Structure 1
Amino acid sequence: MTWNREDGVRGARPVSVGGGGVVEVACDESGSDGENLTGGNTDVFAHASVRLSVESAAAHVQEIRDRIRSPAEEYKANHLLREKHRAVLEWLLAPAGPLHGQAHVHLTEKAFFIVDRAVGLLLGDGNGGHDHDGDSSVEAVTLFREGPRTFGTERWRAFLAAANQLLRVRNDGRPQEPADAFFRTVDDLRRAHSRTPVAGILDRLAAARSRADSYREVVTGGPTLIPLLNPLLPAVVATAAHWSGDGRPVRLVHDRQNMLTEERIAWIEETARQAGAGLEGFRLVVAREDPRVQCADFLAGIARSIASDELNRRGDPVLTALLRPYVDTASVWGDAPSWARLRPTPGGTPVDSGVRSAG
Structure 2
Amino acid sequence: MDFTISPRVEDYRARIARFVEDELLPVEADRTNYDAHENIRTDVLGRLRDKAKAEGLWCLQLAPETGGQGLDTVGMAVCYEEMQRSIFGPVVFNSAAPDDGNMMVMEKAATPEQKERWLRPVVEGRVRSSFAMTEPAPGSGSDPAGMMLTTARREGDSYVVNGRKWFITGAEDAAHFILVARTSDDPRKGLTAFFHHRDTPGFRIERRIPIMGPEEHGGHCEVVYEDMVIPAENVFMEEGDGLKMTQMRLGPARLTHCMRWLGLSKRCVEIATDYAHERIAFGERLADRESIKVMLGDLAMQIEVGRILVAKAAWAIDQGSFARKEVSMAKVHVANLLHQAADTAIQINGARGYSKDTPLEWIYRYARQARLVDGADEVHKMVLERTLAKEGRAFWTWEVGA
Above 0.5 in TM-score? no
TM (norm. structure 1) is: 0.26
* TM-score, length basis structure 2: 0.24
Greater gyration radius:
2
Structure holding more helix per residue? 2
Return the structure number with greater relative CO, CA threshold 8 A, min gap 6. Answer: 1
Q: Which has the higher strand share?
A: 2
